[in-house]
Structure 1
Amino acid sequence: MATAVTGLTHEDCGTIGFVISCLFDQSIDTAELRAWCEHVIVSNEMDDIPQYMFELVSFDGDLCELFDILGFTPSSEPSQQEDAALYGIAFQRGVEVYDPPVSRVSALEALRLRPDVLQRFRATFPFIEVAD
């Protein structure tokens, strides 16, 4: 059943901001971004989905192009500990993180201290499995 999508607009950018943070922190890749877009499109009311979602569903460009596609820069920035926890998710998923700002140990510790980040990740990306 379709639901009303939230957090994808300039005024309410919490969801898209989290997704973009996950992408930049390497806890998801561009294929998973596209899968998330597909998931949002098929599980929400069509009238509620921003046009950029239909462009992102086939996105395969440089990350710097994302904000041009969105038409805005999401203002929701993760805290330093949330950011480290997102890197922790990447490490936990076995991603070879390029130039991480925190060590693997610190990132996994941040993830342990912020179970809400993992919970939000699982809710946002229900099609991605992450071990506890």
Structure 2
Amino acid sequence: MMAKSFRLEKNNSDDIGFASTCLVAGIIDFDEFKAWLYFVMENSDEIPSYFFNILDINEKFEYTLKRQEVVGFTPSWEGTTFEENALYGIGYKRNIAYQNDVVSQISALKALSKNPHIEERFKETFPFLELPE
């Protein structure tokens, strides 16, 4: 099997940006974020050194607080507002107690139904996570 090319660098950080956005928004927890790092490490030929810095961190708060320092840049995912709302819809699907100050559950789930590519992206990014139907 050929290694996948992940976007993990300062000028092309879409994959780490998407995973980081999911973490910060509470769509995944810190253990799931670390599981993603290991997934990338197993499926990529080149591992950025900052992955090891992140793996040394014990909690989400520390990562969010020191992200720029630990990674060396701020990872970004260029999702539109509607795509971000759809991502929050995944948070609501995954966790009945999920709370979000940006968008209501109804609006987020509606955005998710109108942006099925976001759910596909989530499944591709985190193939080891179950996503309720």
After TM superposition, is the score higher than 0.5? yes
- Equivalent pair of 1:35/1:57 in contact (CA under 8 Å): no
Q: Give the match's secondary structure for 1:90.
A: helix
Which consecutive residues of structure 2, in runs of 5 or more, have no partner in the other structure?
Answer: none
Change (3 A) 1:95 1:50: farther
Please provide the CA RMSD for this pair. 1.6
Q: Which runs of 4+ in 1 moved over 3 A?
A: none
- Equivalent pair of 1:13/1:76 in contact (CA under 8 Å): yes
Q: Give the match's secondary structure for 2:78.
A: coil
Which consecutive residues of structure 1, in runs of 5 or more, have no partner in the other structure?
Answer: none
Determine the structure 1 residue equivalent to 2:72: 71
C-alpha separation between the residues in 2 aligned to 1:129 and 1:114? 19
C-alpha separation between the residues in 1 aligned to 2:54 and 2:2? 20
> Which stretch of the first structure deviates more once superposed, 13-22 or 74-83?
74-83
Determine the structure 2 residue equivalent to 1:38: 38
C-alpha separation between the residues in 2 aligned to 1:58 and 1:129? 26
- Identity level (%): 35
Q: What is the TM-score normalised by the length of structure 1? A: 0.89
Q: What is the TM-score normalised by the length of structure 2? A: 0.88
1:4, CA displacement in angstroms?
4.2
Determine the structure 1 residue equivalent to 2:129: 128
Q: Give the match's secondary structure for 1:5.
A: coil
Q: Give the match's secondary structure for 1:85.
A: helix
- Equivalent pair of 1:5/1:40 in contact (CA under 8 Å): no
1:7, CA displacement in angstroms?
0.6
Change (3 A) 1:98 1:65: farther
> Which stretch of the first structure deviates more once superposed, 48-57 or 108-117?
48-57
Determine the structure 2 residue equivalent to 1:8: 8
- Equivalent pair of 1:18/1:76 in contact (CA under 8 Å): yes
Matched letter for residue 90 of structure 1: G
Deviations 1:71-113 (A, max 9, x none): 1012433211111111100100015334431000011111111
